Amino acid sequence: MDGGVIKRAGVTSFQVAEHAGVSQSAVSRTFTPGASISTKTRAKVLMSAKELGYRPNAIARSLITSRSRIIAVVMAYLENLFYPDVLEELGRLLAAEGYHLLLFTGFMDRDSDPVFDQLMQYQVDGIILASTSLSSELSDECATAGIPVVLFNRTTERDSVSSVTSRNREGGRLLADFLVAGGHKSFGYIAGIENSSTNRDRLGGFREQLLVHGVDELVIRTGNYSRVEAQVAAREMLSLPVRPEAIFVANDHMAVAVMDVARYEFGLSIPDDLSIVGYDDAGPARWPSYGITSVSQPVNEMTSATVDILLDQIHSGDMEPLHRIVSGELIVRSSARQPAAGVIEIDGRCLYRPSPGT
């Protein structure tokens, strides 16, 4: 007795089975996602479980099945509203398959190795790394331990783990075409984390396509996917004797900061004095007060591909790396001057689709 409250021993699955008049295995199947059980038997078990106050012991089950049904998700960048959307959709998809999501906070500017020991204490069945990455040594260790890893919105130079990304290089090219077609002559780029695969590909595609149009000068500053650092980068770029006419910001989170600096510190009108484009099509990009022209990253398609790869590897035991690349769209809004041709409306959205050869 403690404080006048009598504690009773936990109810077991055998007691539920006896109360419901079914086998213990029927109780087990009732609480195992995807297990075969008749509707009538399941109803009887749930009724008895409710009356007896029974709750299945997930830890005990994991010891028996060697599966925790826990997926570790490591994120380093929840300030960017793209990632809360990703997290919500991952949680929904995993729950539908009977898995639980366990969130860990990683590091944007380096590998997530320091959190690895923490997440492994939970005997996770799989790992999703979003806005962060894993060292080559640790990815090999995960493969040896039979733990599938999927990089979300990242790739690695080594083909050792699976990945899901959007076509970042293609998106960079599309933005270059759009800005050149809009009549801009000088260009700036505010980078994310310079060594991240997403930043390298977006910048690479943008620079390559500018060269196709005969533009070989590009002003670059680094914002490290940080609002504060993006503000500093914007001040430096806009203080140049001859500032760029158009700026590609490596994601929308930073683009908001750049627009605020341009408007409220330099008194510039957007897009009359300066065009700004971003990437992700997330959060404030869709708000009328910002209206950022942005390349979309389809959250539903990317998360669905991530969960499909991860669960297939968990269930099959086949750790062969798979790589999915999802196409996005250039969503045209009010933050940049529009070209005379190529902007079309589909399902209420303005998209830029240049004609072949332009």
Averaged over successive runs of 10 residues, the pLDDT of the chain (358 residues) comes to: 44 83 82 76 86 64 60 85 93 92 74 65 84 66 80 78 93 98 97 90 97 97 94 98 97 97 98 97 93 97 97 90 94 96 93 79
Do 209 and 201 touch, CB atoms closer than 8 A? no
* 342 and 256 in a common domain: yes
> Does residue 232 form part of some domain?
yes
CATH of the domain at 255: 3.40.50.2300
Give rounded-to-5 percent helix, strand, coil for the chain: 40, 20, 40
The pLDDT value given to residue 199: 93
> Does residue 158 form part of some domain?
no
* 209 and 83 in a common domain: no
Please give the tally of structural domains in the chain.
Answer: 3
* 261 and 208 in a common domain: yes
* 340 and 227 in a common domain: yes
Give the range of the structural domain holding residue 26, as residue numbers without chain letter.
13-56
* 76 and 49 in a common domain: no
Residue 323 CB-half CA count within 13 A: 12
DSSP sequence for 168-200: HHHHHHHHHHHHHHTT---EEEEESSTTSHHHH
* 304 and 211 in a common domain: no
> Does residue 132 form part of some domain?
yes
The pLDDT value given to residue 8: 43
CATH of the domain at 28: 1.10.260.40
Residue 219 carries which DSSP code? E
Do 27 and 20 touch, CB atoms closer than 8 A? yes
The pLDDT value given to residue 7: 37
* 307 and 291 in a common domain: no
* 223 and 81 in a common domain: no
Confidence (pTM)? 0.79
> Does residue 358 form part of some domain?
no
* 321 and 252 in a common domain: no
> Does residue 163 form part of some domain?
no
* 178 and 47 in a common domain: no
